[in-house]
């Protein structure tokens, strides 16, 4: 494996970008850092989501389920294990859970997958609530000395890991196999690709990342209860951000995360009852106006200017 000139440039630029982002807590520890945490969280979630859904075109709504499982890993283990071990453990559990979901649904058509993941968060939530009711436990307290800046750096590190993973997958046989599956699954199978295995392997990435994100953010909630940890709206926000930016490129989702976070922030602080309406409209905008996201729009514009230069 060798790096070309552009690769080296991209790596340097990305490192520089992350370096600059890491300085945020020194500039502000209030509103902007809070926003930074939200953006970093959604960047990790949406980028890993697009790693799977971009090439395969499957729409996963399982983010909230994995995220919730991650917060519970931290909530249950914070007394006994160090924080870093909990984040790692959440990643493993998330990946395992994703593999199980994938085994059950990814051999079938996309509709089954959407429906199954749509209710997954609710399923886990109901089971946890039931267990808690029967054991007399209510919620969980997560008390750590991790402050907002610490959480932010953890998330930033996770984002870096997601980008690195995405970049490596893009260069690997697995990444190539997924591009083929996205184009024509029959050709993929007849070219010797185990399509189900490739899809399940890739689905484990967003599963692990979402669970790790949940584990990292658990200390921020302080008190964890099922309806908070498994809020289904999270899954939808991730889908919108990733598709708004464009799932066809590694950096696409970030382009959607930043404006949409600001939009939701503005709407929820000024018109708190209208967030669902905004999410609904965002879906329609994606389908009817930006089918390939901002990235697709950019490609189109570049293509046109290039064509104009030639003629």
Please report how close the Cβ of residue 195 comes to other proteins at its closest, in angstroms. 7
Does the protein bind other proteins through residue 310 (CB under 8 A)? Answer: no
> Binder to other proteins among 288, 289, 310, 311 (CB under 8 A)?
288
Please report how close the Cβ of residue 265 comes to other proteins at its closest, in angstroms. 18
103/90 Cα distance (integer angstroms):
20
Among the residue ranges 35-43, 70-78, 154-162, 267-275, the one whose residues contact other proteins (CB under 8 A): 267-275
Residue 24 or 242: which CB sits closer to other proteins?
242
> Binder to other proteins among 16, 164, 281, 301 (CB under 8 A)?
281
Among the residue ranges 13-21, 34-42, 258-266, 287-295, the one whose residues contact other proteins (CB under 8 A): 287-295
> Binder to other proteins among 32, 84, 130, 262 (CB under 8 A)?
130
- DSSP one-letter string for the chain: ----HHHHHHHHHHHHHHHHHHTHHHH-SSHHHHHHHHHHHHHHHHHHHHHHHHHH------HHHHHHHHHHHHHHHTTTS-HHHHHHHHHHHHHHHHHHHHHHHTTS-HHHHHHHHHHHHHHHHHHHHHHHHHHT---EE---S--HHHHHHHHHHHHHHHHHHHHHHHHSHHHHHHHHHHH-HHHHHHTT--HHHHHHHHHHHHHHHHHHHHHHHHHHHSEE-HHHHT-THHHHHHHHHHHHH-TTSTTHHHHHHHHHHHHHHHHHHH-GGGHHHHHHHHHHHHHHT-TTHHHHHHHHHHHHHHHHHH-
> Binder to other proteins among 164, 266, 280, 305 (CB under 8 A)?
280
Does the protein bind other proteins through residue 13 (CB under 8 A)? Answer: no
Among the residue ranges 43-51, 129-137, 144-152, 250-258, the one whose residues contact other proteins (CB under 8 A): 129-137
Please report how close the Cβ of residue 25 comes to other proteins at its closest, in angstroms. 34
Hey, what are 161's tokens?
């890991």
Please report how close the Cβ of residue 194 comes to other proteins at its closest, in angstroms. 5
> Binder to other proteins among 194, 266, 268, 305 (CB under 8 A)?
194
* Footprint of other proteins (CB under 8 A): 1, 57, 59, 104-105, 108-112, 114-116, 118-119, 122-123, 126-127, 129-130, 133, 173, 176-177, 179-180, 182-184, 186-195, 232, 236, 239, 243, 273-284, 286-288, 291
């Amino acid at each position: 494996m060798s790096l070309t000139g552009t690769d080296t440039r991209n790596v340097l630029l990305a490192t520089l970008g992350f370096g600059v982002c890491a300085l945020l807590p020194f500039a502000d520890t209030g509103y902007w850092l809070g926003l930074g945490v939200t953006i970093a969280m959604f960047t990790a979630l949406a980028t890993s989501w697009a790693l799977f859904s971009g090439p395969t075109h499957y729409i996963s709504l399982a983010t909230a389920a994995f995220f919730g499982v991650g917060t519970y890993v931290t909530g249950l283990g914070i007394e006994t294990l160090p924080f870093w071990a909990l984040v790692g453990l959440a990643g493993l559990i998330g990946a395992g859970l994703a593999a199980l979901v994938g085994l059950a649904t990814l051999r079938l058509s996309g509709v089954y997958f959407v429906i199954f993941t749509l209710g997954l968060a609710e399923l886990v939530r109901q089971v946890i609530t039931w267990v808690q009711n029967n054991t007399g436990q209510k919620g969980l307290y997560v008390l750590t000395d991790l402050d907002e800046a610490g959480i932010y750096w953890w998330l930033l590190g996770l984002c870096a890991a997601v980008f690195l993973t995405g970049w490596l997958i893009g260069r690997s046989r697995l990444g190539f196999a997924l591009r083929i599956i996205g184009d024509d699954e029959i050709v993929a199978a007849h070219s010797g690709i185990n399509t189900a295995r490739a899809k399940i392997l890739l689905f484990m990435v967003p599963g692990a990342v979402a669970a790790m994100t949940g584990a990292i953010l658990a200390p921020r909630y302080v008190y964890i209860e099922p309806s908070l940890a498994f809020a289904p709206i999270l899954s939808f926000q991730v889908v919108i951000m990733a598709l708004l930016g464009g799932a066809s490129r590694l950096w696409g989702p970030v382009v959607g995360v930043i404006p949409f976070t600001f939009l939701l922030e503005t709407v929820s602080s000024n018109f708190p009852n209208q967030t669902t309406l905004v999410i609904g409209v965002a879906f329609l905008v994606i389908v009817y106006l930006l089918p390939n996201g901002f990235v697709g729009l950019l490609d189109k514009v570049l293509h046109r200017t290039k064509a104009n230069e030639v003629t």
